[in-house]
Amino acid sequence: MENDNPVIYGLEFQSRALSAQTAEVDKVRFLVGTQSLKFSNNQVHLVEFNEETGNLKTQIFQHPIGEIWSLQASPTETDVFVTCYNSLSEDGTCKMKGAIWKFPEMEEYTNDILQLTKLADIDTTPYGTDLKTIVYHPADSKKLISVVDNNFVLWDLTNDGPQVVTTRTLAGKGQPRFTNGKWNPIAANQFVTLNENNVRGWDLRSPANATWSILSAHSQIIRDLDFNANRQYFLSTCGDDGYMKFWDVRQPTEPVLSRMEHSHWVWNIRINRFHDQLVLTSSSDSRVILSSVASISSDPFGHLTSIEEEFPRDESGGKKRLEDGVIGRYEEHEDSVYAVEWSSADAWTFASLSYDGRFVLNKVPRKYKYQILL
């Protein structure tokens, strides 16, 4: 990827589900799930980027039981992942379901479409019909949480199959429903949920209601959230009002930073877990935006090291601080960009996925990489 040129891969079917292969820390790999209306045609694509050649290698696997709305790779096992999918039932209705899958052993990439092994079903139907996501514990692949209707359910993946450990329910007028949820990577017993324009943090060790909340965090529906893995109380949100906001949950009345860079709904936000100055957002405006939020990062002034390199310097000859603002706009997509993810193997590489099945790999521009590192 010389000169920071993007690498593009086109899928045959529409897509909105993307995950980095989290447990793979040596190779840049992503998983993509498709949304073909003919349920038996759906697929999972394993996409690997070769740094030396600048090319992509891909392997396709069948997911014949429904269109994939979300998927997430296991945090500890490179060959295991979970999907939420829409499936046609015997009575002719569509139902959202979940399942855990395993890739077959594979010595090399082939042009054949390979079969996946289903390890277990995650039956969320007793808790509702509107399954939004199933997410792994950030460090324990034997624990995951499903978010469905106004419930979220903690599962233990034992040898006897998935077992329910505990459930939490959002009570309120008008039958509120969760729209998303995510584990806190620092406080491992905390799960954070979204419903409408509200954010709530739940302590799984307590049977009580949410332990903290940010009410009316956005003026419209919140689509996604992410945590700063280097600052304990900091998280980010994005939504239909076009904003990305950053919060200190100890002071929930006002965001510590708020920016509007997109012209339509913002579907995804991801903070770089190695360099938390860098934040990615993706939107229905067909754009991916890379922003700097250096002022609220764990390293707001950068490393104060003097090295004779060609990178930006201020008038005194010292290192130029990375300022807040947009540092990259990526317009390779022609449809809504529903997902964006940082690579787990390379801190400077990220992937984005639009609904028309276009997968794009990009890198952080080198001049900003130098400003952060040097």
The per-residue pLDDT for range 19-58, each reduced to its tens digit, is 999 999 999 999 999 999 888 899 999 999 998 888 999 9
How far is it, in rounded angstroms, from Cα 45 to Cα 37?
Answer: 17
Residue 115 belongs to some domain of the structure: yes
Percentage of residues in the chain with pLDDT exceeding 70? 94
How far is it, in rounded angstroms, from Cα 85 to Cα 105?
Answer: 24
Share of the chain residues as helix, strand and coil, in percent rounded to the nearest 5: 5, 50, 45
Query: Is the pLDDT confidence value at 232 over 50?
Result: yes
Residue 48 belongs to some domain of the structure: yes
Provide the domain count of the chain.
Answer: 1
> Locate tokens 């989290």: which residue?
22
Q: Is 51 helix (H, G, I), strand (E, B) or coil?
A: coil
Q: What confidence category does residue 175 fall into, taking pLDDT thresholds of 50, 70 and 90?
A: confident
Q: Are 189 and 195 in contact (CB under 8 A)?
A: no
Residue 90 belongs to some domain of the structure: yes
How far is it, in rounded angstroms, from Cα 118 to Cα 125?
Answer: 18
What letter represents residue 95's amino acid? Answer: K
Residue 347 belongs to some domain of the structure: no
Tell the burial category of 207 from Cβ atoms under 10 Å away from its Cβ (0-12, 13-18, 19+). Answer: exposed
Residue 268 belongs to some domain of the structure: no
Residue 56 belongs to some domain of the structure: yes
How far is it, in rounded angstroms, from Cα 16 to Cα 67?
Answer: 10
Residues 6+ apart with CB under 8 A from 67: 34, 35, 36, 37, 39, 42, 85, 86
The per-residue pLDDT for range 123-142, each reduced to its tens digit, is 999 999 999 999 999 999 99
Angle at 262 between CA 256 and CA 265, to 5 degrees: 95
Across 185-189, 204-208, 312-316, 336-340, the highest mean pLDDT is recorded for: 336-340
Q: What confidence category does residue 265 fall into, taking pLDDT thresholds of 50, 70 and 90?
A: very high
What tokens were used for 223? Answer: 């689509």
Structural domain boundaries enclosing 86: 8-122
Considering the chain, what is the average pLDDT of its residues? 91
What tokens were used for 345? Answer: 């193997």
Residue 54 belongs to some domain of the structure: yes
**Nearest residue to 352 (alpha-carbon basis) of 235, 237, 270:** 270
> Locate tokens 């469905």: which residue?
148
Output the pLDDT for position 320. 67
Give the containing element (helix H, strand E) for 164: strand 161-169
Output the pLDDT for position 179. 95
**Nearest residue to 226 (alpha-carbon basis) of 265, 281, 275:** 281
Q: What confidence category does residue 327 fall into, taking pLDDT thresholds of 50, 70 and 90?
A: very high
Residue 20 belongs to some domain of the structure: yes
Whether the model clears a pTM of 0.85, i.e. scores above it, the answer is yes
